[in-house]
Each structure stands twice: as C-alpha cells, then as structure tokens.
Amino acid sequence: MLVKNNEDLYELLDSLLREPTEFWNTFYKDKEKNVPFFCDRPDEHLVKYIERQIIKPRKVLEIGCGNGRNAIYLAQKGCTVTAVDLSQRAIDWAKEQADVNNVNIQFVCENIFNLNLELQEFDYIYDSGCFHHLSPHRRVSYIQFINKYLKNNGYFSISAFKENGKYGGSSLSDKQYYMDRTLYGGLGYSKEKLQILFSEFQEIEIRDMQHNNLNRDEFGLEDFIVCIFKKV
Ligand SMILES: C[S@@+](CC[C@H](N)C(=O)[O-])C[C@H]1O[C@@H](n2cnc3c(N)ncnc32)[C@H](O)[C@@H]1O
C-alpha cells in the first residue's frame, strides 16, 4: 500500500489488527449466550441523563448499537434515532426488538468510519461499549466523527472499560497493541485519559457506572467508566 494521506495511514494500521466485522458477526451468532449486555435494559447513566434533563436530545445517533436496547429506550422517550453497527447480525436483532417495542428507528449497518450521513445533524451521540474496542489511531478518526456529526452545543457520551477491571480494560501502552497486534479484548480508560483525549470538549460528567444487578429496569456494570461531554 502506498500511503498518500492520513486515511491511508489509518487503514494500514487497521490492517495490523483484528478485522472487526467478522469478529462481531460471529459474536452475535448466539443471542442466548451469557453476555451482560445481551439484555433489553437501557444503561443506567443514559436513563439518568434523560430523567434529570442533563440532556434534552431530539435527534440522536447511537454508534455500535448492538441489539438496540439503548436506541429503543431513546425512541420511547421521543427522540428521533439513527443507530449504527457494523454487524449485520446485531442490526437484524435490533430491528426485531424495535418491531417488538413498536418504535421507529433508522438502522444503518456500517463501520462508523465509513458512514456517510448529513453533516452535523445530531443533538446527541451515544456510544455504549464501542469506543474501547477501537484501536489507538482510530481515536483521531473518532473525534473527527464527533465533530462531523454533532451539532454545536450537542452532547456525546461514552461508556468504556475501566483500566484493569473485571472485564479486562487493557492498560498497556498504545505502542504495545501494534507490536503485539492485538487490543487484548478492549482498551481500559481512566478519568484522566478521557479528559486528555476529549480536552477540546466541555466535560459535563465523568464517573463510574453504577452496578445495578438489582434494578430490573436499568443496566449497570462495575468497572465501567461513563462520561458525557458537550461540543461548544
Ligand atoms: C460491546 S458491544 C456493545 C453493544 C451495545 N452498544 C450495547 O451496549 O448493548 C460493541 C458494539 O460496537 C460495534 N462496533 C465495534 N466497532 C464498530 C465500528 N467501527 N463501527 C460500528 N460499530 C462498531 C460492535 O459490532 C458491537 O455491536
């Protein structure tokens, strides 16, 4: 490959690591397997942002929507939702669930870095568990993505593995992932790392996810960090 621009360079680096589409399609083959987020409950922090009116989104983009549990909640709360995932199996499952819940969501099966929607149209971009599966160089593409699709004064949220937590959350150096050619199941983040990475945005809140094993309406796992930022 002849690297001519940044995108060529990112694609070259992508090729050193796992190709995600096949991995995630295989991951979603068995919907009955014991995966915590194979459920129909929305994230606890998302429910709080909406109930406490920290955000009042109208048009929402969910990235890495999986089975659609958060997209469906947002649609039930009156948002116009576009939900993207690169796995066709995840999208098919999410469409089924949207039908069961009688909500209308625009689903798109695509890698977020190949997405081609209208520019800057969303009030809120929601990511539950996608960002920590992206390789270090794709953080640059991720911030470009947020700036491209989020309106000024819009918000975005991420939930990610905490470093060295129960679910992994690798804390190796960025260089090591390319040397070992693996992300070790997902990268771990701390409050400080998120503050550094998203310093061009206004921090609204960064906190631990609340572990909600007794709450039947909301989903929460220990060893996750959740954050919400504003594009100003
Ligand atoms: C840990 S799962 C979380 C799924 C869902 N957000 C949830 O919490 O139930 C991560 C999701 O991100 C999707 N994903 C990973 N990388 C992606 C990318 N570059 N573009 C679009 N989707 C991606 C995967 O297919 C998977 O569904």
Centre of ligand 1 to C-alpha 137, Å, is 17
Would you tell me the crossing angle of helices 88-100 and 20-27 to the nearest 10 degrees?
A: 40
Is the pLDDT at 215 greater than 80, yes or no?
no
**Residue whose structure tokens are 């572990």:** 211
Domains of the chain as residue ranges with CATH: 17-27+40-226 (3.40.50.150)
Edge-first strand listing for the sheet containing 150-161 = 106-109, 80-85, 59-63, 122-128, 150-161, 224-230, 202-208
pLDDT bin (cut points 50, 70, 90) of residue 80 is very high
Residues with a CB atom less than 6 Å from ligand 1: 20, 24, 37, 63-67, 69, 84-87, 90, 111-113, 128-130, 133
Centre of ligand 1 to C-alpha 85, Å, is 6
pLDDT of residue 57: 86
Centre of ligand 1 to C-alpha 20, Å, is 9
Nearest CA to ligand 1 atom 14: 64
pLDDT bin (cut points 50, 70, 90) of residue 50 is very high
pLDDT of residue 20: 97
Centre of ligand 1 to C-alpha 214, Å, is 25
DSSP bridge partners of 126: 62, 157
**Residue whose structure tokens are 């996608």:** 130
pLDDT digit string, tens, across residues 158-193: 999 999 999 989 999 999 999 999 999 999 999 999
Residue 78 vs residue 212, higher pLDDT: 78
Is the pLDDT at 123 greater than 80, yes or no?
yes
Contact status, residue 97 vs residue 31, Cβ threshold 8 Å? no
pLDDT digit string, tens, across residues 131-156: 999 999 999 999 999 999 999 999 99
| Mean pLDDT, all residues of the chain | 96
Complete DSSP assignment for 80-135: EEEEEES-HHHHHHHHHHHHHTT---EEEES-GGG----TT-EEEEEEESSGGGS-
Beta strands in the chain (DSSP E): 59-63, 80-85, 106-109, 122-128, 150-161, 202-208, 224-230
Centre of ligand 1 to C-alpha 67, Å, is 9
Contact status, residue 150 vs residue 121, Cβ threshold 8 Å? no
Contact status, residue 83 vs residue 107, Cβ threshold 8 Å? yes
Cβ contacts of 120 within 8 Å, gap of 6 or more: 148, 149, 150, 151, 152
Residue range 22-35: average pLDDT? Answer: 97
Pocket test for ligand 1, best of 130, 134, 159 (most atoms within 8 A of CB): 130
Residue range 210-227: average pLDDT? Answer: 89
Which pair of tokens denotes residue 73? Answer: 């909640």
pLDDT bin (cut points 50, 70, 90) of residue 214 is low
Which pair of tokens denotes residue 115? Answer: 């997405």
- Looking only at Cα atoms, what is the longest distance across the chain? 54
Chain centroid to CA 180: 24
Of 124, 120, 148, the C-alpha closest to 56 is 124
pLDDT digit string, tens, across residues 88-112: 999 999 999 999 999 999 999 999 9
